[in-house]
Copies of this chain bind each other. A is one copy, B any other.
Amino acid sequence: MQIAKVRGTVVSTQKDPSLRGVKLLLLQFVDEEGQLLQSYEVAADSVGAGVDEWVLVSRGSAARQVQGSEQRPLDAAVIAIIDTVYVEDRMIYSKKDQYR
């Protein structure tokens, strides 16, 4: 999985019928030190992530293992909101105090 930051939303009305009710988030990937990278992903959200939060995104058929998405043509899903990221014993991210 990859770590990404929620940056915004994508809205569509003319779409595959199975996507009705699915919230689509615009994510930007971060590197292991938390720097924003020049690549993004649009992913279905099933954990209620908000703008600026760090999330874990799964891609490929894994995105359809989220309950209710088994038949949806999705290839990326937000599967967790990240609390902390440690590199060895150094905390490089903490949701609570945005400590980096």
Check if A85 sits within 8 Å of B2, measured CB to CB: no
Q: How many copies does the complex hold?
A: 5
Given A1-B42, A42-B3, answer yes or no on A65-B18 (Cβ-Cβ < 8 Å). Answer: yes
In the bound complex, how far is the Cα of B82 from the Cα of A56, in angstroms? 24
Residue of A26, A28, A48 most packed against chain B (CB within 10 A): A26
Interface size on A, residues (CB 8 A): 60
Given A60-B60, A62-B61, A76-B1, answer yes or no on A48-B84 (Cβ-Cβ < 8 Å). Answer: no
Which B residues touch A42, using CB under 8 A? 1-3, 56
Footprint of B on A, CB under 8 Å?
1-3, 7-19, 24, 26, 28, 31-32, 38, 40-43, 46-48, 51, 56, 58-67, 71-77, 79-88, 90, 92
Query: In the complex, which residue of chain B has the Cβ closest to the Cβ of A92?
Result: B8
